[in-house]
Amino acid sequence: MSTVGAAAPRTATPKARGERRLSAANRATLSIICFVIGAVGLIPLIWTLSLSIRTSSDVFSDRILPHSFRLSNFVDAWNQFGLGTLFWHSIVVTFGTVVITTVLAVTSAYGFNRYRTRVTEAIFVVILTGLMVPPAAVIIPFFVAMTRLGLYNTLVSVVIGESVFALPFSLLLLRGYINTIPLELTDAARVDGASQLQAFRYVALPLLKPALATVALFSTISTWNGFLLPLVLLNNSATSTLTVGLTSVQSQYGALNLQLLSAAAVLAILPILAVFVAARRYYVQGLSAGAVKQ
């Protein structure tokens, strides 16, 4: 699965070769280009961080660099915008989605691998077409269905929606991974008298653990960052999930309390970037695997 990702052994040899090819002047030029592009890329993050610690008058002065330092912006933003509720809703939705997506993806990936018939292959292909469907294209029937089921304005409806959109990619990743591990072991367990479910639970599942981490990471990021589903399915944007809540804050306070909006944005950015950076290895592997398999 991770042929591309795994084939990145950072031995000293290629590095040394690379160094030999470039002259010192060229290397210095390229280094400068690296730092300049990187710095420009970080401007939006740094600017928002710099706004988040200013006083109101400093925000609307014509100074570029902050001349004030007000950490209580973060406390004010948290209290004034009800960030606690928004965070809690995002956590619940993300947790629910990760559980449902992972369970559905791992069981079906295993099933698709074990029972290969023309019908199951066709089903697999149909589910993969879900990768292509823009959420906006199906939001109307989905909204109607959730209303009819009495799930409108519940976090459950958002969990269902996020899960169904996260499922195809998770299945693709797991199916790719599952083909690389020796699942014949489950046949051996069957011969020894284990039930199908036992063979899956005690033989296959432990072997799939590394790929499950990747799947969980991808559905965490896509759900935490999801916007259209909570926007449509929850009726009060101020007590929705974090993404929708932030847009409500932005439209109400964005013009007058830029420092508080910035503080809220920084608070929203920190946890997801922490997860993202800590798990970047899994992310890169999943990205390569998905691209290669596709």
By C-beta, is 88 or 253 nearer to another protein?
A: 253
By C-beta, is 83 or 265 nearer to another protein?
A: 265
At its nearest, how many Å lie between another protein and the CB of residue 138? 4
What's phi and psi for 64, nearest 5 deg?
-85, -50
Report residue 14 as tokens. 């290629």
Q: Quote the CA–CA distance of 136 and 69 in Å, as a whole number.
A: 42
Let me know: does 238 contact 82? Beta carbons within 8 Å.
Answer: yes
Where would I find the H helices in the chain?
3-6, 12-21, 24-52, 56-59, 72-80, 83-114, 118-128, 135-148, 155-178, 184-191, 196-198, 205-224, 228-233, 242-253, 258-278, 280-293
By C-beta, is 76 or 130 nearer to another protein?
A: 130
At its nearest, how many Å lie between another protein and the CB of residue 94? 12
By C-beta, is 42 or 188 nearer to another protein?
A: 42
Let me know: does 151 contact 177? Beta carbons within 8 Å.
Answer: no
By C-beta, is 95 or 281 nearer to another protein?
A: 281
At its nearest, how many Å lie between another protein and the CB of residue 25? 12
At its nearest, how many Å lie between another protein and the CB of residue 72? 20
At its nearest, how many Å lie between another protein and the CB of residue 103? 8
At its nearest, how many Å lie between another protein and the CB of residue 193? 18
By C-beta, is 88 or 156 nearer to another protein?
A: 156
By C-beta, is 30 or 75 nearer to another protein?
A: 30
Dihedral sign from CA coordinates of 170, 172, 176, 181: positive
Q: How many CA atoms lie within 13 A of 125 on its CB side?
A: 7
At its nearest, how many Å lie between another protein and the CB of residue 206? 16
Phi-psi region of 106 (alpha: psi -120 to 50; beta: other; left: phi over 0): alpha
CA quadruple 56, 57, 62, 63: dihedral, nearest 10: -80
- Say which DSSP state 131 is in: G
